[in-house]
């Protein structure tokens, strides 16, 4: 019945929308809380519609029947204390009825105790950083949609702008606590399927929780304006069964161990300029090109060019410093923690030799490590 | 007629005082906000001065989990982590723990840790008798340090709170401190 | 003429002998051309200046909206890059709020309040001139910052720190400076309105006889004086944080970025009512006129306005539910916000009851007024939904919010300003406007504005965040419809320009009281209203 009412409403106001594949209503989500939020949303919507029908009904009746062109003569009443009191008290009672379920849901939403898993979410321009509190798993989640799709050179994929290189993996049927904070400006982690939207404030932490009922892939976006890349930092959660999650955790831990060994090996290895350039170009395109542009020209006045720049052609140490530790107070982030020593070495080598910079320098992973990554 | 000019004048003066007053009120909101935050725990800031610990009855029936999180401002070449991530404590018990910091850069860097407690209401019940966050932390090039933290959880902590998360974000204030020193020097 | 001026001055500023002399001087060789407008202290001239300025800003901000809608016409980045897109959303908001809506209301206040209360002019004519003429400077500064290297403000009209401090473009100082000037202009305007209403009412015009437009403006003026200085404080803190090393909003120095939002919204929420209370006054004048029936519940309207104004100081944090507040604070702000529905409801019920058993006709002002009542109420409903904190977590910062505030500001504030323009144009110009063109303008506007904003509700519910330059493909179809509505609404406003120009140039002569059911002192004056009116106070029955 409720669905029918809503459909009727949609048809009345927006018949042209029927063809769109977009859902027209708030998601019911996959947690108990998101279901409650949906119910609350629908309840309030129906109450508003009912009030609207009565008020507009009276008004439209008057507009049709009390028209001068129909010979209507104006009545002469203009005051009634009784009526005024009635339409002050009646809405008040309706509001109290609305407030009761709203209060209950809110209190439940804020009750984060007895969580079985804690994930810290850090927003930074313009990606999310997830770390599992007790599992020692830690990774960045970047937009996976290629620039060519955004710029229209390639057909847009099904999950255009809502896909990441590494999703947040979470177990179902466990209470998960999220701690939010930020590295730079305010971001807001929004996942409609969990009815979670919480700001990530720099220097402060916020918390919220979810217990996921259904396995699946859920997508969301940053909801607080955080600069140029605000529209390009999606959230993808992959909810798996508890058993699968445990397997995933151990595989991640093993992979982290292997990566550490590899990184150690990279330190003693010396790569050719060509090899470094090839790897560096890949790293550059996925991490640097959004601001400094694929041609290294930057955007005048906003993002400095690298082609022929003092940093990319000057002392190697200064160049490493800028890439590893960023430039505080500017959009230049620190990549020291996001990229491996090998990747950093490659991208710095690339920047020093691409676009006619041609310094001929090669930077090795060991140089990066010595710089104090 | 003259009386009207007078009443114009009076009213204008009142309204101008009103708007200047509201401009001042805008700034007064800053300390007001901080006081309200302290009292009500709106933003999870903990007090930035040491509290004293008097022997009190330890509520051994109740256990509160205290979790520590550390973060470093992007671009600051420090490693910074809690010695222990999680502690189970009884309200009223005095606990000593520490954070480990190391400076990877080859220059001296001054850090300042900014604390934040979640849930925010818990902040008012988290008392620190000694904390590295009360002071600036200078570390020489490539140096390590163990930064102590001594605290207790107030026995009056509301029953609804079972876990307190204390986060420290470390900021590089070397430049700011240097410019302050310069200014002080200039003033002399 | 001379005696008239003398009399006028003796009422307005009797103590200022120099001015008296100067004014005499001006009238001997009536200043012409640009000087007339630069030096004018006449409330009607200044009202006209404000209204034209506001219309120019409306078109400027509208052009930016067109850029936004063109970029969002299809997914992908086509026309502008994201940083410029952010500048467009920011400056669109600032220009529409501070350049279009607020000056339009000040313009209406200038034209109408003296005529409505039987005063010869505004109480402080010199200040009136200043408060207008600093506005074009403020907006020149703001708009010129768009052409600076690094671009203009790109942090949203709400300029949340630290995006507006550590991470903002170099032109932020210009943004701060222009906001300061706009604030000073508004405060001067508000002082003028209050002094005029308190001191210059014609004998016998007691408080409960004041037209509601005057009442709502009086309350608005107090809100302006209470909150514009707080905005000035907020931008000053942004300025010192960015350039002078203070740490009001910088966690590193012991500040708190969330505090910025508290200070901003302490200004921002009353500001929302600053932009709607005068509309209530306009609608309360137009609905009775075309229903040929007295306004129902005059005194309850006054009390409702006052209680909305008071409540507006207690609800600011409902803009910040997701920032992480303790439950008791969330509950407090939720309850207070819901409470605002009560006085607002009273107003709607009063207007509907005024129409009930009236003798209604639908000239253009009434068409806009009726559209206002329906569409503003829809905006009110979505506002009530947004007040419900748990649901707000889903609506917040999505297109649902964009739909909500455009319903209250475009079909609310802007529609009421259009209604006012049509209603009083005969009084201002002495000619009737072209009724047919007026109706065409209305129907084009009301249809396109709903095609523009109604589908935005669905976009928000489906999960599209606001302030993004590019979006997922599932939102493509609806965004296309919205953009088409946007272009149509933008173009429709050119009809309005045509109507106004045509009306100024000529047309059927307007009688003193062109509307049969109209009531009020302004209709006792001939049309167009003489340059100096009510030099001797009228008699109030």
The domain limits of chain C are: 1-30, 31-524
Summarize the confidence of residues B151-168 as an average pLDDT. 87
A279 pLDDT band, cuts 50/70/90, is confident
Q: Do A78 and C163 touch (CB under 8 A)?
A: no
pLDDT at B69 over 60: yes
Confidence at A345, pLDDT banded by 50, 70, 90: confident
Q: Which residue of B has its CA nearest to C246?
A: B176
Cβ separation A62–C398 shorter than 8 A: no
Active site residue C441: no
Query: Is the predicted pLDDT of residue C39 greater than 60, yes or no?
Result: yes
Percent over 70 (pLDDT), chain A: 93
- Within 113-152 of A, beta carbons closer than 8 Å to B belong to 113-115, 118, 120, 122, 124, 133-134
B68: in domain: yes
Q: Is B1's pLDDT higher than 60?
A: no
* C532 in catalytic set: no
Q: Mark yes or no for CB contact B167/A179 under 8 Å.
A: yes
Give yes or no: C293 in active site.
no
Partner-chain contact C342 A95, CB within 8 Å? yes
pLDDT value, residue A349: 87
Task: Give residue C27's pLDDT band: very low, low, confident or very high (50, 70, 90).
Answer: very low
Q: A154 is written with which tokens?
A: 């390639």
Lowest mean pLDDT among A347-356, B16-25, B36-45, C398-407: B36-45
- Looking at the DSSP bridge assignments, the partners of residue A235 are A220
Domain count across chain B: 2
The predicted structure's pLDDT at residue A346: 86
C186 is catalytic: yes
Question: Which member of C242, C318, C404, C513 is catalytic?
Answer: C318
pLDDT of residue C11: 40
pLDDT of residue A372: 64
Is the minimum CB–CB distance between B165 and chain A shorter than 8 Å? Answer: yes
Q: Is B45 inside a domain boundary?
A: no
Determine whether C457 is an active site residue.
no
What is the C-alpha separation between C274 and C285, in angstroms, rounded?
18
Class of domain A25-72+79-109: mainly alpha
Of C194, C232, C236, Cβ closest to residue B11: C194
Distance between CA C529 and CA C511 in Å, rounded? 11
Interval A142-160 mean pLDDT: 89
| Domain C31-524 in this protein, CATH class | mainly alpha
Of C333, B44, C315, the residue nearest A106 (C-alpha): C333
Structure tokens at A299: 């955007």
Question: Please, which chains are in contact with A (at least 3 CB pairs closer than 8 A)?
Answer: B, C
Query: Which residue out of C69, C242, C269, C404 is catalytically annotated?
Result: C269
Q: Is the pLDDT of residue B143 over 90?
A: no
Q: In whole numbers, what is the pLDDT of chain A averaged over residues?
A: 86
Q: For the residues B170-182, what does the mean pLDDT come to?
A: 73
Is C262 in CB contact (< 8 Å) with chain B? yes
B177 touches C at CB < 8 Å: no
User: Residue B188 domain-assigned?
Assistant: no
- Give the model's pLDDT for residue C509: 94
Please state, for a pLDDT cut of 90, what percent of chain C lies above it. Answer: 87
Contacts of A204 in chain B (CB under 8 A): 43-45, 116, 167
A325–B77 C-beta distance less than 8 A:
yes
Alpha carbon C463 to chain centroid distance? 30
Give the domain CATH number at B121. Answer: 2.60.370.10
Would residue C406 show up in a list of annotated catalytic residues for this protein? no
Q: Do residues C439 and C366 touch, judged by C-beta distance below 8 A?
A: no
- Residue-level pLDDT at A186: 95
Chain C residues whose CB is inside 8 A of the B36 CB are none
Q: Does one domain contain both B30 and B84?
A: no
User: What range defines the domain where residue B161 resides?
Assistant: 64-179
Maximal CA-CA distance, chain B: 80
What is the value of pTM for the model shown?
0.88
B49 within a domain of the structure (yes/no): no
Which pLDDT belongs to residue C186? Answer: 96
Instruction: Kindly state whether residues B81 and B25 are assigned to the same domain.
Output: no
- Highest mean pLDDT range out of B34-48, B174-188, C268-282? C268-282
Task: Return the axis-axis angle of helices C476-505 and C43-71, rounded to nearest 10°.
Answer: 150
Whether pLDDT at C387 is above 80: yes
Considering only alpha carbons, which residue of chain B is nearest residue C235?
B26
In this complex, which chains have at least 3 CB pairs below 8 Å with chain C? A, B
Closest CA to C143 of C267, C56, C73: C56
Distance CA C399, CA C387 (A): 16
> What value of ipTM does the predicted structure carry?
0.89
Report how far residue A346's alpha carbon sits from residue A349's, in angstroms, rounded to the nearest whole number: 5
Percent of chain B with pLDDT over 70: 89
Q: Are residues B73 and B27 in the same domain?
A: no
Q: Which residues of A touch B119 (CB under 8 A)?
A: 110, 112, 207
Whether residue B7 is contained in a domain is answered as: yes
Q: Which residues of chain B are within 8 Å of residue C234 when distances are taken between CB atoms?
A: 26
The mean predicted confidence, pLDDT, of chain C is 92
Is the domain of B79 the same as that of B35?
no
Provide the pLDDT for residue C9.
41
**Statement: residue C13 has pLDDT above 50:** no
What pLDDT score was predicted for residue C327? 87
Would you tell me which residues 203-232 of chain A have a C-beta closer than 8 angstroms to some C-beta of chain C?
203-204, 206-207, 220-232
* Residue A373's pLDDT band (cuts 50, 70, 90): low
Residue A4 predicted with pLDDT over 70 = no
Does residue B79 share a domain with residue B169?
yes
Assess whether pLDDT exceeds 60 at residue C472: yes
Q: Which residues of A touch C471 (CB under 8 A)?
A: 161, 231
C477: pLDDT strictly greater than 80: yes
- Cβ separation of B75 and A114 shorter than 8 Å? no
Measured between CB atoms, does B104 come within 8 Å of chain A?
Answer: yes
Between C421 and B73, name the one with better pLDDT: C421
**With pLDDT > 90 as the criterion, what percentage of chain A qualifies?**
49
Can C172 be counted among the known catalytic residues? no
Strand, helix or coil for residue C111: helix
pLDDT at A200: 95
Identify the pLDDT of residue C22.
42
Please indicate whether, in this complex, the C-beta atoms of C160 and A149 are within 8 angstroms of each other.
no
Residues 6+ apart with CB under 8 A from C403: C382, C453, C454, C456, C457, C459, C460
Interface probe, candidates B74, B87, B140, B170, chain A, greatest A C-beta count within 10 A: B74
Residues B6 and B93 grouped into a single domain: no
Residues C135-152 pLDDT 10s: 999 999 999 999 998 899
Q: Does C329 touch chain A (CB under 8 A)?
A: no
A:55-84 residues touching chain C, CB 8 A cutoff = 55-56, 58-59, 62-63, 66-69, 72-80, 83-84
**pLDDT higher than threshold 50 for residue A20:** no
The mean pLDDT of C120-137, rounded to a whole number, is 95
B186 touches chain C (CB under 8 A): no
What pLDDT does residue C23 have?
A: 43
- pLDDT class for C229, splitting at 50, 70, 90? very high
Residues B90 and B35 both lie in one domain: no
The yes-or-no answer on residue C466 being catalytic is: yes
Task: pLDDT band for A8, please (50, 70, 90 cuts).
Answer: low
Q: Is the pLDDT of residue C392 over 50?
A: yes
For residue C459, the model assigns a pLDDT of: 95
pLDDT of residue C42: 94
Hey, which of A300-314, A358-372, C361-375 has the most confident mean pLDDT? C361-375
* Domain A270-371 top-level CATH class: mainly alpha
Residue A126: cis peptide before it, omega within 30 degrees of 0: yes
Pick B12's closest partner by Cβ from C195, C231, C326: C195
Query: What would the pLDDT profile of A75-110 be if each residue is shown by its tens digit?
Result: 888 888 999 999 999 999 999 999 999 999 998 888
Give CATH 1.10.287 domain extents, chain A: 25-72+79-109
Superfamily for the A117-260 domain: Cupredoxins -  blue copper proteins (2.60.40.420)
pLDDT grade, residue A1 (50/70/90)?
very low
What pLDDT band is residue C451 in, cutting at 50, 70 and 90?
A: very high
Q: What is the mean pLDDT of residues C282-297?
A: 96
- Does residue C385 belong to the interface with chain A, where contact is any CB pair within 8 Å? yes
B68 and B1, same structural domain?
no
> How many beta-carbon pairs below 8 A join chains A and C?
305
Q: Is the pLDDT of residue A266 over 80?
A: no
Q: Which stretch of A133-142, A321-330, C111-120, C487-496 has the lowest confidence by average pLDDT? A: A321-330
Contacting residues for C273 by C-beta, under 8 A, at least 6 apart: C220, C223, C308, C309, C312
**Contact assignment for C325 to B42 by CB distance below 8 Å:** yes
C157 is catalytic: yes
Residue C451 has a CB neighbour count (10 Å cut-off) of 18
| pLDDT value of residue C29 | 55
Q: Which of C69, C319, C404, C457 is catalytic?
A: C319
- For the ranges B103-117, C175-189, C251-265, C412-426, the lowest mean pLDDT is seen at B103-117
> What is the C-alpha to C-alpha distance for residues C372 and A328, in angstroms, rounded to an integer?
49
Residue B72 covered by a domain:
yes
Among chain C residues, the shortest Cα distance to A21 is held by C474
């Amino acid at each position: 019945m409720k669905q029918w009412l809503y459909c009727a409403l949609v048809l009345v106001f927006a018949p042209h929308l029927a063809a769109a594949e977009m859902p027209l209503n708030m998601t019911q989500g996959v947690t108990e809380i998101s279901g409650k939020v949906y119910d609350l949303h629908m309840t309030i919507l129906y109450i508003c519609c009912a009030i609207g029908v009565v008020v507009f009904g009276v008004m439209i009746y008057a507009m049709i029947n009390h028209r001068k062109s129909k010979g209507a003569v104006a009545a002469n009443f203009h005051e009634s204390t009784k009526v005024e009191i009635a339409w002050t008290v009646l809405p008040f009672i309706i509001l109290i009825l609305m407030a009761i379920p709203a209060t209950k849901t809110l209190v439940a939403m804020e009750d984060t105790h007895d969580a079985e898993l804690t994930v810290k979410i850090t927003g930074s321009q313009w990606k999310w950083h997830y770390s599992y509190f007790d599992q020692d798993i830690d990774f960045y989640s970047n937009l996976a949609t290629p620039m060519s799709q955004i710029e229209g050179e390639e057909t847009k994929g099904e999950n255009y702008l809502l896909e990441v290189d590494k999703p947040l993996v979470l177990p179902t049927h466990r209470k998960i606590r999220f701690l939010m904070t930020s590295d730079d400006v305010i971001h807001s982690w929004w996942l409609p399927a969990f009815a979670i939207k919480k700001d990530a404030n720099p220097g402060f932490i916020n918390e919220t929780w979810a217990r996921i009922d259904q396995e699946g892939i859920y997508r969301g976006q940053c909801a607080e304006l955080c600069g140029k890349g605000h529209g390009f930092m999606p959230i993808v959660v992959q909810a798996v069964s508890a058993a699968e999650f445990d397997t995933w955790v151990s595989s991640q831990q093993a992979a982290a161990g292997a990566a550490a060994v590899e990184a150690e090996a990279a330190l003693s290895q010396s790569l050719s300029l060509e090899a470094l350039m090839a790897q560096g170009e890949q790293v550059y395109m996925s991490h640097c090109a959004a601001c400094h542009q694929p041609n290294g020209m930057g955007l005048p006045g906003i993002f400095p060019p690298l082609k022929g720049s003092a940093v990319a052609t000057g002392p190697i140490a200064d160049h490493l410093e800028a890439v590893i530790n960023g430039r505080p107070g500017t959009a230049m982030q620190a990549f020291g923690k996001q990229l491996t020593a090998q990747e950093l070495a490659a991208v710095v080598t690339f920047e020093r030799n691409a676009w006619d910079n041609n310094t001929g320098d090669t930077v090795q992973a060991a140089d990066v490590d010595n710089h104090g990554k | 007629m003259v009386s009207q000019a007078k009443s114009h004048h009076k009213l204008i003066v009142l309204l101008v005082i009103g708007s200047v007053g509201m401009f001042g009120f805008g700034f007064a909101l800053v300390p007001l906000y901080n006081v309200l935050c302290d009292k009500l725990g709106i933003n999870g800031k903990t007090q930035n001065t040491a509290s004293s610990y008097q022997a009190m009855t330890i509520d051994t029936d109740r256990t509160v989990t205290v979790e520590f999180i550390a973060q470093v401002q992007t671009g600051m070449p420090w490693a910074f982590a809690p010695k222990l991530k999680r502690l189970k404590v009884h309200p009223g018990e005095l606990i000593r723990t520490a954070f480990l910091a190391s400076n990877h850069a080859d220059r001296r860097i001054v850090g300042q840790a900014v604390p934040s407690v979640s849930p925010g209401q818990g902040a008012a019940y988290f008392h620190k008798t000694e904390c590295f966050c009360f002071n600036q932390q200078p570390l020489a090039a490539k140096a390590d340090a163990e930064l102590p933290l001594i605290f207790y959880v107030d026995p009056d902590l509301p029953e609804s709170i079972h876990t307190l998360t204390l986060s420290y974000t470390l900021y590089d204030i070397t430049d700011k401190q240097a410019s302050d020193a310069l200014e002080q020097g200039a003033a002399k | 003429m001379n005696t008239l001026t003398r009399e006028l001055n003796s009422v307005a500023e009797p103590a200022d002998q120099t001015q008296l002399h100067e004014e005499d001087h001006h009238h001997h060789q009536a200043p012409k051309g640009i000087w007339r407008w630069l030096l004018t202290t006449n409330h009607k001239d200044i009202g006209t200046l404000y209204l034209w300025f506001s219309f120019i800003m409306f078109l400027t901000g509208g052009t930016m909206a067109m850029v936004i809608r063109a970029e969002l016409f299809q997914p992908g980045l086509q026309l502008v890059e994201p940083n410029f897109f952010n500048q467009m959303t920011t400056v669109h908001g600032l220009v529409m709020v501070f350049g279009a809506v607020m000056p339009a209301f000040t313009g209406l206040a200038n034209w109408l309040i003296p005529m409505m209360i039987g005063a010869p002019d505004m109480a402080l004519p010199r200040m009136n001139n200043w408060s207008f003429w600093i506005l074009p400077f403020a907006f020149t500064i703001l708009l010129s910052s768009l052409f600076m290297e690094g671009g203009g403000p790109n942090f949203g009209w709400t300029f949340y720190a630290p995006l507006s401090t550590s991470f903002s473009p170099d032109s932020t100082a210009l943004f701060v400076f222009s906001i300061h000037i706009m604030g000073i202009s508004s405060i001067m305007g508000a002082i003028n309105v209050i002094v005029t209403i308190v001191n210059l009412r014609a004998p016998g015009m007691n408080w409960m006889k004041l037209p509601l437009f005057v009442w709502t403006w009086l309350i608005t003026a107090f809100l302006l004086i209470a909150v514009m200085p707080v905005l000035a404080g907020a931008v000053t803190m942004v300025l010192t944080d960015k350039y002078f090393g203070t740490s009001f909003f910088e966690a590193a120095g012991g500040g708190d970025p969330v505090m910025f939002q508290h200070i901003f919204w302490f200004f921002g929420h009353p500001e929302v009512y600053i932009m709607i209370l005068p509309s209530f006054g306009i609608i309360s004048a137009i609905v009775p006129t075309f229903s040929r029936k007295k306004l129902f519940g005059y005194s309850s309207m006054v009390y409702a306005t006052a209680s909305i104004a008071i409540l507006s100081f207690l609800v600011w944090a409902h803009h910040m539910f997701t920032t992480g507040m303790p439950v008791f604070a969330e509950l407090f702000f939720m309850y207070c916000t819901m409470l605002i529905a009560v006085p607002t409801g009273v107003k709607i019920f009063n207007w509907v009851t005024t129409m009930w058993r009236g003798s209604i006709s639908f000239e253009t002002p009434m068409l806009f007024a009726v559209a206002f009542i329906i569409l503003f109420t829809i905006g009110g409903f979505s506002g009530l939904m947004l007040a419900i904190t748990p649901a707000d977590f889903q609506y917040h910062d999505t297109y649902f919010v964009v739909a909500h505030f455009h319903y209250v500001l475009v079909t609310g504030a802007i529609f009421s300003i259009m209604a006012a323009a049509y209603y009083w144009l005969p009084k201002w110009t002495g000619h009737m406007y072209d009724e047919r063109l007026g109706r065409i303008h209305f129907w084009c506007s009301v249809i396109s504005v709903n095609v523009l904003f109604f589908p935005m509700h669905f976009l928000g519910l489906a999960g599209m965040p606001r302030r993004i330059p590019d979006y997922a493909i599932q939102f493509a179809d609806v965004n296309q419809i919205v953009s088409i509505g946007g272009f149509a609404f933008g173009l429709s406003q050119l009809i309005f320009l045509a109507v106004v120009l045509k009306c100024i140039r000529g047309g059927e002569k307007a009688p003193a009281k062109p509307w049969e059911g109209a009531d009020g002192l302004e209709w006792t004056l001939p049309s167009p209203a003489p340059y100096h009116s009510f030099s001797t106070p009228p008699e109030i029955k």
